Amino acid sequence: MEQRILNFERKLAQSDLDGFLVTDLLNIYYLTGFSGTEATVFISKNRRLFLTDARYVLAAQNTVSGFEIIESRRPLAEIAEIVKADRLVRLGFDHQVTFAYYQKLQTYFAGIDLVALADFTEELRLVKDPKEIAAIRMACRITDQAFADVLDFIKPGVTTEWDLANFLDFRMRKYGASGLSFTTIAASGCRSAMPHGTATEKVIQNGEMLTLDFGCYYNHYVSDMTRTVHIGPATDEEGEIYDTVLRANQALIRTAKAGLSYRDFDSIPREVIEQAGFGQDFTHGIGHGIGLDVHELPYFSGTDGILRAGMVVTDEPGIYLDNKYGVRIEDDLLITEDGCEVLTESPKELLILS
Ligand SMILES: [Mn+2]
């Protein structure tokens, strides 16, 4: 934690800001280790303040070090007094705050420059340390185990998408997950053409594609994996679409490494799908970072940037044929100096279930 705060303070010193108000709870967890639901952190050249209410003071005293811990139900009023006493004039704050919260900031910090910043702490979270990687690795292992179990559970004509989602959710918890990283997607038949078709009461039928996109939290870090399987024998077209998506996924695994540009990370797998004639049916970005959040930096399409060792990103090409079916395959990749490690290990050859 101390190293993270030092990195934050170095970035603050290099900026034109006198202080920063951290209000995003994931950023607060990253910087302090506190995982309650109410806290405000203020960092300036000579202050490290952690403010929370009576419910969490004990937890903060036990987990947060290197900060002055202040119990308060009016954190902004407390910070505003200190800002005034220290004669600070320009403060950054996490841009995700609500408009109502921003209005409160304007009231408490009248006369002070308030600068909303999108990614101040998030950029520090881009490269994961070994402890973070270990947690993501475990979340991926749990996800793999749940997928292995679900294959025997699918009974065409009987099992609903809800049944599948509930089964996956329960198994992930059974294997040690503390929660789901997002609402589990189980989309069968023509519903699989919706990239984010959350589960419904629909029964899984013979002859259908079935897309499962799911993940979990382990020790605050997430996994995010997609597998598409087929119920009964697949048609030639279905086999070709599946093969194209798989080749795109694998082309990226072969080339992803530190130093690759974000634009190439997106375009290398996209070209595989375009060359097969399905470019217009790959309707979303190739992937995103994962960590404390299931969608976090980096994002790839139309963004300048270079992959760095220690980033954990998804590789999730897809082809979606409206009113027919869709295929997506998603892995979580740990970027290394000379390549990448695939953290999600579930099988990827087209599984034919019956
Ligand atoms: Mn994803």
Write the DSSP string, 263-316.
HHHHHHHHHHHHHTT-GGG--S-S-EE-SSSSSEEEE-TT---B--TT-EEEE-
Residues 73 and 186 in one domain: no
Residues with Cβ within 8 Å of 202's Cβ and at least 6 positions away in sequence, in order, are 160, 161, 188, 189, 191
What's 176-242 look like in SS3? CCCEECCCCEEEEHHHHHCCCCECCCCECCCCCEEEEEECEEECCEECCEEEEEEECCCCHHHHHHH
User: What spacing in Å lies between the alpha carbon of 252 and ligand 1's midpoint?
Assistant: 15
Q: What is the pLDDT along the chain (354 residues), one digit of tens a residue?
A: 889 999 999 999 999 999 999 999 999 999 999 999 999 999 999 999 999 999 999 999 999 999 999 999 999 999 999 999 999 999 999 999 999 999 999 999 999 999 999 999 999 999 999 999 999 999 999 999 999 999 999 999 999 999 999 999 999 999 999 999 999 999 999 999 999 888 999 999 999 999 999 999 999 999 999 999 999 999 999 999 999 999 999 999 999 999 999 999 999 999 999 999 999 999 999 999 999 999 999 999 888 999 999 999 999 999 999 999 999 999 999 999 999 999 999 999 999 998
Domain boundary among 104, 124, 144: 124
Whole-number pLDDT of residue 303: 86
Residues with Cβ within 8 Å of 263's Cβ and at least 6 positions away in sequence, in order, are 300, 301, 302, 303, 304
User: What spacing in Å lies between the alpha carbon of 284 and ligand 1's midpoint?
Assistant: 11
Domain boundary among 77, 94, 124: 124
Residues 181 and 281 in one domain: yes
User: What spacing in Å lies between the alpha carbon of 180 and ligand 1's midpoint?
Assistant: 13
Residues 253 and 339 in one domain: yes
User: What spacing in Å lies between the alpha carbon of 158 and ligand 1's midpoint?
Assistant: 28
Whole-number pLDDT of residue 257: 98
Residues 151 and 288 in one domain: yes
- Asked whether the bond before 195 is cis by omega within 30 degrees of 0, the reply is no
Residues 209 and 176 in one domain: yes
Whole-number pLDDT of residue 206: 96
Return the CATH number at 35: 3.40.350.10
> In angstroms, rounded to a whole number, what is the distance separating the alpha carbons of residues 130 and 50?
26
Residues 271 and 195 in one domain: yes
User: What spacing in Å lies between the alpha carbon of 315 and ligand 1's midpoint?
Assistant: 8
Residues in the chain: 354
User: What spacing in Å lies between the alpha carbon of 48 and ligand 1's midpoint?
Assistant: 35
Whole-number pLDDT of residue 215: 98
Residues 86 and 152 in one domain: no
Domain boundary among 124, 145, 175: 124
User: What spacing in Å lies between the alpha carbon of 347 and ligand 1's midpoint?
Assistant: 17
Return the CATH number at 155: 3.90.230.10
User: What spacing in Å lies between the alpha carbon of 259 and ligand 1's midpoint?
Assistant: 22
Residues 244 and 164 in one domain: yes
Residues 49 and 101 in one domain: yes
Residues 104 and 170 in one domain: no
User: What spacing in Å lies between the alpha carbon of 60 and ligand 1's midpoint?
Assistant: 32
Residue among 150, 140, 166 at smallest CA distance from 330? 140
Residues 95 and 172 in one domain: no
User: What spacing in Å lies between the alpha carbon of 290 and ligand 1's midpoint?
Assistant: 8
How many separate domains does the chain show?
2
Domain, as residue range, for 36: 2-124
Q: Are 269 and 333 in contact (CB under 8 A)?
A: no
User: What spacing in Å lies between the alpha carbon of 312 and ligand 1's midpoint?
Assistant: 12
Q: Is 106 exposed, middle or buried (0-12, 13-18, 19+ CB in 10 A)?
A: exposed
Looking at the DSSP bridge assignments, the partners of residue 319 are: 327
User: What spacing in Å lies between the alpha carbon of 325 and ligand 1's midpoint?
Assistant: 19
SS3 content of the chain, % helix, strand, coil (to 5): 40, 25, 35
- Kindly list the protein residues that place their beta carbon closer than 5 angstroms to ligand 1, a single-atom ion: 224, 314
Residues 12 and 85 in one domain: yes
Whole-number pLDDT of residue 32: 97
User: What spacing in Å lies between the alpha carbon of 227 and ligand 1's midpoint?
Assistant: 11
Tokens of 147: 């997928």
Residue among 103, 175, 185, 169 at smallest CA distance from 139? 175
